[in-house]
Each structure stands twice: as structure tokens, then as C-alpha cells.
Chains A and B, each alone.
Chain A
Amino acid sequence: MSIHLEAPIATERYGDSAVMVTVRHPDAALRAGHIVDVRDRLVQRRPFGVTDVVSGLESLLVEFDPLITAAEHVEYALRLLADLPPLDALHVTPKNFVIPIIVTEQTAPDLDEVAAEWGVPSDDVIDHLLRSTLTISLLGAAMAPMMAGLETVRPIRRRAEPRTDVPPGSIMVAGTNAIIQPFPGPTGWRVIGRTPLTIVDINRPEPVSFSTGDIVRFERIDTAAAARRDGEFLLPNTNGAPA
């Protein structure tokens, strides 16, 4: 984690109760990295009146109560936070996850299209996924883990026509990101596999076991192994760092 943010942040008023924060820099990866840094600082040192934060890939929506603070105060606090070195408390050790996936015609309906886009055999696309070390950059809709660091031949385009109902556990990719669908729902991302594990369980006191900054790798398993692990709750790897 950087000590100082080399790129300046920009803020924009989003109505009477929110400020949008972005990072000014031509490099998208750097923008995405810095915004994670700003979010961690903000969440750790919650400025008075800030009620919640919504993470985007390269942005942060900071929501506040306008009856006890004002956009000017929030923007000032954000600039201070961006200038300060991060708290030691931020240096938590990331957890490691090894997530099993099955790749079949049924569970990876977009695999051939991605392969065609890259001009490689389908197995090559899965090899890229399996050798990627991904970092959870944010929790997306319904606590879905959004991961950065997917190895690609070139960034993956979204589908022109979104799929309306993708089953839970689907491994989806777009750009150089991957995400796992926790609940059935629509997506414009490419579906290239599925995990039999339960990613989000709302009946547990902590519905997810992962948080931002954690490390994820995927391992391919066969359908028999998948059947044995069907519904198992995703937990971090306890055998140290993934091989």
C-alpha cells in the first residue's frame, strides 16, 4: 500500500447527500488501486456525518447526512485522508482463498466466445484464469466478490445482450476483472465456469468470509468432486498461502 497517493483525487457533488470521488490519472489500474486506498482510509477514520460508502471500480460514492455536515466538510476530510499516511491498523494480513470451479458446456456458456475473441483454444482461457492471482477489490451487488488481476490476452468485452438469469456460483469475467454471482440474477459479464460453493449465506452472522484485499485463486475440479462439495460455505484456505 502506498504511503502517499501520487495522483490527486477529484470530487463532484451528487445531490444533497453524496460526493463522488475519483482519481485523476491516465492509468486505469492506478486509478483503481488508489481508490481502494482512499476507501480504506475513509472507512478506518470515518469523518463525522459520513453514513456509508459505495465502491465503484474506479470511484467512491461517499454518502453523508446533510443536516449534521456538509459536502465542503466531507471533501476537506477526503483531501486530508488522501494526504496522510495510512493507519498501521490497515496493514492486516490478507486471507487466501482457493475456489474450486467446474468448467462444462453448461456452466461456462461464454467460454468459446472469449476464446474466439482472444484467438486461442478454450482451454487456454481457463489456463489464464487458473494461473491468475486475484485480489478482491470490492464487494459488488449482493456482496459479490469483485476481483482484479485476471490474466488476459486482451481485456474481455461484455456481452452485447446481457443474460437475464445466471445461476449462483457462476464465475464471470469482463475487462481484467472476475466476479462470482452469489444469487441468481442478470449480468452482462461473460460466464466461464461455476463453483459449487456457497459464496454468500445470509443465515450466518457474517454472511461472507472474505473482505477487500483478500487473495483468490481458482482450481478446476471434476463434476464428481463438485457434487461432493455442493453448497459448502466458502472459507479461507488454512494451509497458508496458496501454492
Chain B
Amino acid sequence: MTIQAKGLKAEEERFGWKLILPAIIIIASLIFYPIGYNVFLSFFDVKLRGPNTYIGITNYRDIITDLAFWHAVWTTFLYVIFTTIGTTLVGLGVALVMVKEFPLRGLVRAIILLPYIAPVISVVFAWQFFFDPVNGIFMHLTYEKFHLFDQRFNLIGSPQNAIIVAIIFNIWKNFPFSYLMILSRLQSIDATQYEAAEIDGASGWQKFWYVTLPEVYFVVGSIVILRVIWNFNKFEEVYLLTDNVKVLSVYTYFKAFTGTMDQGQGAALSVIQFLLLIGFILFYVKRVLKW
């Protein structure tokens, strides 16, 4: 390579850097800086007024020795597992039905998307009104009209049901996303594959197992990882609907922004949450998505 060509290449590289510099600045200031500062804060006793004090790993030690934290981890684990399985299976089931031809299919397909596109706050209020123990329609029908229960009860508020309600709510609200993704993949499966399977004498179940499932495998795999990330960090649905489902995000919020506002511990908690999630993603991408 001549000196001139080398100079040209260096010039091009510099030009390339110049082009991506604005994006780097934006990403660094909006993503890397907050993450870095959060990690930095997690080693301090953060005071709202006055200087912060460096306390090493005390925040992490306090969190790990707190039973409430492990309870939050367990709750999050349950919540993420069941909501992810639920949204994926319901989405798959509905997509399998919706791929068939029937009258008014377009309208039904659109209606199914409603829970997903409705604002969380309005849907939460609707659920609360629906299940209100004194004035709600649910109690009116099940208790007053059909005598299915021997007394009125507060389905959403009761601590025994709260996590179940939060999971059902999440599945109901989010399955349309899985449905939409899977449906679009189903529609692109070549019909000749099914014809070939039929000629070979495959049953309905076998067609699903050997044709449909391999075709949608990677879509479902991607949906699962997205849902895990989203549901792991889910805050507003859980916080607004129920009182006492302390998943990690809600637990962090209470630590950092209510009462004594322990923002140092809040920062440490979000670092732990981040590490847990990254750990899972690395494992999943390697083993399931086989990237």
C-alpha cells in the first residue's frame, strides 16, 4: 500500500468516526452515563441534601442479607416465569385459530389487539371497577345472580390472590403482542409443507409438531426473551393494579423513592437487577437461540 493510499484510508476512518459521533454522544449521555453513574452511586450512602459518603460494598451487603430482597427475587421469578409462559402459549393458541379462514376474521383480529394498545391506567381502573367487592359486576353476577360464592370478596385486593391477579392481568394485556408476531410467521409458512405432511399421513398434532413448531421456533424464542426482559423490569402494571406484589422493580422503587429514600441501596438494587437480567440473556441467547 502506498503512503498516499494509507493516508486516504486514515482519512476515511476519521470521516467515519465523524459521522457516527453524534450517535455516540447521544448514546453515551443517555445510556452509558446514567448506567455508569448508577453503578458509582451504589457504593455511596446517598444524601438528598449534603455530600454523599463512600461506604464500599455496604449497600450490596445490606441488600443480600435482607429477607425482603430475597422475597422480591422469588416473587419476580414467579411473575416472569408464569407471565412469559402464559403470554406465549395464549398468543400461540390464538394465532393458530386466527390463521384459519372464517367470516369477519379481520374484525376479530383487530379486537384481539385492544388490551395491548389500551393505556395501562385506564385498563387498571376498568379491572378495579369490574372486581370491586361492593359495586363490581363480577361480584354482582357470581354472588348475587348465580350464587357461586357464599360471600362477597375482594379479588384484586386480597393478598392471597394479588400475585395471581397480577399474572393474569399481564397475560391478558400482553398476549396480543405474541399473537401478532406468531401470526405473521404462520402466514408465511409454505402450504405445500402441510400438503406433503398430509400425503405422508401426518395427524393434526404431528403437523403442528413437525411443521408448524420448527417454523415458529425462532419467533417464539425471540418473543420469550423479549417478554422476559420486559416482564422482569415491569413496574407500572404491577404497581398500579395491586398493593403488595413486590417484584424487584416495585421493591426498588419503594427503597429509593419512598420513606427514608435510600437511593444508594436503590442504585445497588438496580445494578443487581441488571446483572441478573444480563446473566439470563447471555445463557438464553447461547443455549436457546443458538446465536
A and B: partners? Answer: no
Which B residues are closer than 8 A to A by beta carbons? none
